[in-house]
Amino acid sequence: MAMAQGNEGVVGLRFFVALGAAERRRRQQRLTAWGEPLGRAMDGLPLGAYYQHETCVRVEEGTAMRRGVLITLTLACAMVLGSLIVSYTGSAQQDATSTTPGPLIYNPYPPGILPDDLVSEIERVRREVNVIFDEALKEWLALPPPTVTGQPPTLQGTGYEAVQILGKLMNFDENMSPFRNRACSSCHMPYAGFSGPIPSVNLTMVAYPGSEEFRAGKRTAQRYTYSPRFPVLELYPAQDLLFGGNFWDGRSTGYLLQSPDAEQAQHPPVDTQEHALPDMACIALRLSQAPYRPLFEQVWGAGSLDIAFPFNSEATCATPGGAAALGQNTGGNPTPIKLSPADRVKANRVYDNWGQSISFYESSPEVSPYTSKVDANINGLPGSQYTPDELAAVMLFRGKSNCNSCHIDGQTTLLTPGQTDTGTYATNARPLFTCFGYSNLGLPLNPRDAIFYQTTPDPFGFTANPFGFAFRDLGLGTFLRSGPGSAPNPNSAWTPLAPRMDGRQQVSTVRNVAMTPSCPPGSPSSCVACPTTEAGLLDSNGKPIPYFQKEFFHNGYIKSLKQLVHFYNTRDMFAYNVTSGNCPKGTTEKVDCWPMPEVPNNIDMTVGNLGLTDQEENLLVIAMQLLTDGFTTPYPNINTFTGTCSICDPQTDPNCSPSRQGNETLIPTPPLPPCAPEVCGVAPLPSSPIP
């Protein structure tokens, strides 16, 4: 049940099919075991009805409102709780979302920026998200409740699983957005290594549409496998560089929760371009309505969600952040839900628990399992011996190519011809293949990035990017200045470092960069497998191999692993003073023409002219593929993709090759205005002007 300010009453009352008596008793026993809130739910109400039941109870028990509205709502609640239950067709999440009005469409984009299949692909991903959400509900209901004992209190027995399942439920819960249509996983699905799940978005608009369609961010959906292993952002004095944190720009420092990953989970719900909730207290409100509320209160304390929300809170939370009606279109009113000081403290604590729970799920074997062939080989597991090509790839990765200097494998780096390798892996070593640092690789501005076109107010009066093509992504440098599109810097001692950090983006782990949907034995019939990220490969019969289109680096400019390696190898060999889409006649962009960098300051010169052969580039693709989880045991939920793989014929399509993959979608960058002073004119100024 949803309440809307200005339309007082009950929206979308639903009725449910009666369960069999035995099933009702079984569920009642299980829910009672998990705590009083669900234990008091009516016999015969399936889990999906809990949203409606709990909201009715809370409306009747204490929210201040006009008498007439109270009577209306009380009668409506009585209808829900007393009617014959006649229709139950889906999950709790689906029932909750089906009565929520959809977003008003915002489309400031010129033709071709948004993919033609965007709407249907969003709906496809939503169905997949709901499948995993329902799976998590079943896992919770099958879990024996832990015993709370000891000082400090410990959830003895199944506490680990309880917190991980709670994080999973949160991660796949679409109700955590204004229009109940986006979950964290909407942009981060398992079969893509918890990165972008829509091939056409990866090929075109770069950033993923948020709850208010079609607002979108400015960067690719970063993989969050192994993200809990990143340390708190800190300064290494010897290098005078920052290491750690989460996000491309490092804005999730982890300073408060001492976990960048837990803090990372707190940003998207209130990011105007993602979930877009207008107040982080909306998470507490939606969790208080969730069917898994008893699990939350079991983990984080009875009564932790007992917050006296004002009557109009649901209407506020159903309005996307940045809305003029909330006074947020100019950056004001960050907490439009007017809670008492005590309840605001409780809501903040719930938000911390939200981040901590999701982070614990992401650290679990469901997300970060260390099951790649590299892991198996490190530990000498049967069948893990490298083939000759794989061994050559691994040696090249930490030798001539210099990959291991930033994507550290825990062994040695051999850069001098004739060096003897004396490094050996320690048993059970778990290298993360990142240095946790930040680097400006010199990528060109990508004119397909959706952020450049969001220059006019959306239906709620919010403008995401008033600078248009005058925006420049300075990455870590913008964050250190607390600049636009980032977050406040919690450590003023770092601010003077900003000029040295301009253009730097996080060095991602190589793990699961090559992950694509697959269908291990026992997968559902709906499962679709896309064996590779690379276009134009042929099987042993000479037929094109289907592929899953991904995007790489922070702005999605690179569309295949081969291109990624070729960029590292030849960036400086084929450098041209042009923008993307404007390479000289007779050259091919991404093959023998690399446009100029978006941010020319602080370019990483350890790459750009590695002197690799074409075959050595291909070997490095193999090295990255070896780091895909699922070699020893199937990767959880990798079989949930129900979309369509891409396929092309290199005989008829000139761009059907890993080298030219995606070039059919290149568009000319328009003449660029100077960098906006709100971005590049903030003290301390860049070390040299950024055009």
The three-class DSSP label of residue 619 is: helix
pLDDT at 542: 94
Sequential DSSP letters for 594-609: BPPPSS-TTB-TTSS-
Per-residue pLDDT, 414? 77
Q: Is the model's pLDDT at 21 over the cut of 70? A: no
**Residues above pLDDT 70, as percent of the chain:** 84
Q: What is the pLDDT of residue 362?
A: 98
Task: Read off the tokens for 491.
Answer: 């450590």
Asked whether the predicted pLDDT for residue 36 surpasses 80, the reply is no
pLDDT in tens, 496-517: 999 999 999 999 999 999 999 9
Residue 152 is predicted with a pLDDT of 94
In this prediction, residue 129 carries a pLDDT of: 98
Q: Which of 457, 416, 412, 411 is nearest to 430 (CA)?
A: 411
Q: Between 661 and 31, whose confidence is greater? A: 661
- Looking at the DSSP assignment, which residues form a beta bridge with residue 154? 149
Summarize pLDDT for 77-87 with one digit per residue, the tens.
433 333 322 33
| pLDDT value, residue 588 | 98
Tokens of 49: 């009805």
Model confidence at 579: pLDDT above 50: yes
What's the whole-number average pLDDT of the chain?
Answer: 88
Per-residue pLDDT tens for 292-341? 999 999 999 999 999 999 999 999 999 999 999 999 999 999 999 999 99
Is it the case that residue 1 has pLDDT exceeding 90?
no
When mean pLDDT is compared across 2-6, 282-286, 543-547, the lowest value belongs to 2-6
CA distances from 57 to 2, 38, 44, 78, 309 (A): 13, 12, 17, 10, 13
Domain locations in the chain as residue ranges:
2-89
Q: Calculate mean pLDDT across residues 482-492.
A: 97
- Which helix or strand (DSSP H or E) is residue 4 part of? strand 2-4
Summarize the confidence of residues 527-549 as an average pLDDT: 97
Rounded distance, CA 189 to CA 223, Å?
A: 9
Question: In the predicted model, is pLDDT for residue 69 greater than 90?
Answer: no
Q: Tell me what pLDDT residue 101 has.
A: 66
Cis link prior to 296 (omega < 30° from 0)?
no
Pairwise pLDDT comparison (416 vs 47), residue with the higher score: 416
pLDDT of residue 100: 58
CB atoms within 10 A of CB 382: 7
pLDDT of residue 427: 66
pTM of the predicted protein model: 0.88
Query: Which residues are bridge partners to 11 per DSSP?
Result: 2
Q: What is the per-residue pLDDT across 133-171, written as a single tens digit (0 to 9) for each?
A: 999 999 999 999 999 999 999 999 999 999 999 999 999
State residue 370's pLDDT score.
Answer: 97
Three-state secondary structure call for residue 665: helix
- With residue 622 as reference, give the H or E element that holds it: helix 614-625
**Residue 38's pLDDT band (cuts 50, 70, 90):** very low
* In the chain, % of residues over pLDDT 90: 81
Asked if residue 578 has pLDDT above 50, the reply is: yes
pLDDT digits (tens, 9 = 90+) for 599-653: 999 999 999 999 999 999 999 999 999 999 999 999 999 999 999 999 999 999 9
Task: Supply 658's token pair.
Answer: 């890993």
- Looking at residue 75, its pLDDT comes to 36
185 Cβ contact partners less than 8 Å away, ≥ 6 residues apart? 129, 132, 171, 172, 194
Cα–Cα–Cα angle for 195, 452, 317, rounded to 5 degrees: 65
Q: How far apart (Å, rounded) are the C-alpha atoms in residues 557 and 471?
A: 17
In this prediction, residue 417 carries a pLDDT of 76
pLDDT in tens, 180-196: 999 999 999 999 999 99
